[in-house]
Structure formats: C-alpha cells, structure tokens
C-alpha cells in the first residue's frame, strides 16, 4: 500500500523501485506531486534473475520513477514493472526517468551500428503512455516526441536551476561550455542567472581521449564554472578545467545535470584542479546540490491537466 503522500491523495500513485539510492528522490517527488507513494520490491535469485513485487491493485493513473544510470542492469526490471503495472490496473502509465540513457547514439556513424536511441525509444513507447526526463542528450532530433513514436515525451532542463545556484555561490562567474554540444545548456544557465558565458571547441579521439580549445573567450582573472549535461568519464570536464586554469582563470568549478562519474572520473576531475562540483539530484551522487523534484512535479501536474 502507499507509504507516503501529499495533499493530492485522490491523485494517481507514484510507484518507485525500493532502491536505497533512489528512495530520497522518490519520497521528495511524492511530496511535491501530492501522490501516494508505493514501492516495487525486488528479490534477486542466484542465477541473476529478479522477482518484482508490486502492490496487488493499482489505480488507473500511475507514475513510475526509474533513472537509467547503469541502464543494462535496470532496463529489464523497468520493462517488467511496466507490464506488471498494466496487469494490476494501470491504464495510463507515465515513466519519470530523470536520467534517460542511450540517447547519444541517434545515427549510425559507421555501417552496421545499431541506432540505440531509436530502438530504446520504441521499447519505451510500447510500455508507457508518456515519458518525462531531464536534459536528455538529443542532438539531431527536435524533441523527445520524435524518439517515442506515438507517445508524449517531456524533456525538462535543470540548466536554469544550476545557473541560479551557481550565481548564489559565485555571483561573478563565467559559465563555460566544454564543447558546442553543451552550448545550449550553458546559454540556458547563463540567461537564467544573468551570467556571462562562453563555449569551447572539442576534439574527441576516443572515450577517454579529449582535447578542448577556447573559442575567442578570455578567462584570465575570472572565476570559471564549466557547465554540461552529463559527467561520464570526466575527461571533457577535466580538459576544460586544465585549459581554463592554464589561461589564467582564478578558479574552476563544475555544474552538471547528471553526475555519472564512472570509474576514476571523479578523481580525474579533481586532479585537473576543479574546486567544487555541483550537480542536480537526477542521479544520486555526493555532489548533488540542486533538486529537480519541483520541476518534475510541475510537469506532471501540467500533463495531468492536459489529459
């Protein structure tokens, strides 16, 4: 049965995986959205299969929360939970996926490559009526709707929240995008906070081999904050930090939406001279400083009102 809820007890439920890392986000979102909270319980068998247990009866309107960091371990459970929710009464099922994986591969760069964005989008469209996410890594598509054939996609951005947070910590900061791809995030953050911004040029030679160059911007004597949508291997952020410090920046901090920091990424970024890392709580991480529950709750309310 639901374990928490806010003023909207008559609203549909929020269903979340009973994961120690994701529990805080689930509880905060349930309060912000005014939805009773219920859990997906998991039991892992010795052979690696998982048994999922949902509440035995669900309302028609269900929001399922699941981030897809570590996607290969989570996708099977997510699709099984969606199918189970349908069997147990959910007729309108929304996925809230703060970090949506497999969005980068949107074309076949070499013959034979599987376009993962297209196929994951089709799978999610078969299971969910709508998908709400934050800062998906979309480059060659205009909207998340294009990724989800026949379904509603809502792509929110934490960039303005991060920009306003940075302004409280470093009011005179220069926001720096480490590459053109991050340009839209740094612009949104800068506009929301009234800060200056600039964009670097990046050349990637491999997953962990990155070179960046300043594009006509002076960072000398400035407090620089590198802004990006995701910190994965940390190589791009580290290269931008070393470049800025080498060009005379007083300090370099980092603000990102998705703090993945895989492998030695955290240590690599720190070794590059980064002073502080601030992230949203889309992905649980010690650097979390900016909450997105209000942003998501507002989107859910708007989506419900539009139906």
In this structure, the number of other CB atoms found within 10 A of the CB of residue 211 comes to 14
Is residue 202 among the annotated active site residues?
yes
d(CA 307, CA 299): 13
Q: What are 95's two structure tokens?
A: 């996925």
Which one of 137, 202, 235, 258 is the catalytic residue? 202
Q: What are 303's two structure tokens?
A: 């989506």
Among left, alpha and beta (phi > 0; psi -120 to 50; other), residue 226 is beta
d(CA 286, CA 284): 7
Over the range 244-253, which residues count as b (16 or more CB within 10 Å of their CB) and which as e?
Answer: bbeeebebbb
d(CA 233, CA 236): 8
d(CA 154, CA 136): 10
Do residues 181 and 154 make contact, with C-beta atoms less than 8 angstroms apart? no
d(CA 235, CA 240): 9
Q: What are 83's two structure tokens?
A: 């199918």
Match 């497999």 to its residue by tokens: 102
Best CA proximity match to 273, nearest among 247, 226, 238, 248? 238
- Hey, which residues are catalytic here? 202
């Amino acid at each position: 049965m639901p374990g928490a809820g806010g003023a909207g007890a008559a609203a549909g439920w929020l269903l979340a995986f009973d994961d120690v890392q994701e529990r805080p986000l689930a509880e905060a979102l349930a309060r912000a959205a005014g939805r009773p909270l219920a859990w997906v319980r998991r039991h892992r068998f010795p052979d690696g299969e998982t048994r999922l247990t949902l509440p035995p009866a669900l309302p028609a309107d269900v929001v399922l929360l699941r981030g897809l960091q570590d996607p290969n371990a989570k996708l099977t459970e997510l699709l099984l939970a969606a199918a189970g929710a349908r069997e147990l009464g959910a007729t309108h099922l929304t996925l809230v996926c703060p970090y949506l994986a497999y969005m980068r591969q949107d074309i076949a760069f070499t013959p034979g490559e599987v376009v993962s964005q297209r196929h994951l989008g089709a799978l999610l469209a078969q299971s969910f009526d709508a998908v709400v996410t934050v800062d998906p890594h979309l480059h060659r598509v205009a909207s998340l709707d294009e990724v989800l054939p026949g379904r509603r996609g809502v792509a929110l951005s934490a960039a303005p929240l991060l920009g306003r947070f940075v302004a409280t910590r470093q009011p005179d900061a220069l926001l720096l995008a480490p590459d053109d791809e991050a340009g839209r995030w740094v612009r949104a953050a800068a506009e929301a906070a009234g800060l200056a911004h600039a964009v670097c040029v990046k050349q990637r030679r491999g997953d962990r081999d990155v070179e960046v160059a300043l594009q006509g911007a002076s960072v000398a004597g400035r407090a620089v904050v590198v802004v990006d949508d995701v910190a994965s291997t940390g190589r791009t952020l580290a290269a931008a930090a070393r470049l800025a410090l080498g060009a005379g920046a007083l300090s370099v901090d980092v603000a990102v939406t998705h703090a993945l920091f895989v492998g030695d990424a955290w240590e690599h970024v720190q070794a590059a001279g980064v002073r502080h890392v601030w992230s949203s709580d889309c992905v649980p991480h010690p650097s979390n400083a900016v909450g997105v529950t209000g942003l998501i709750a507002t989107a859910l309310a708007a989506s419900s009102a539009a139906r």
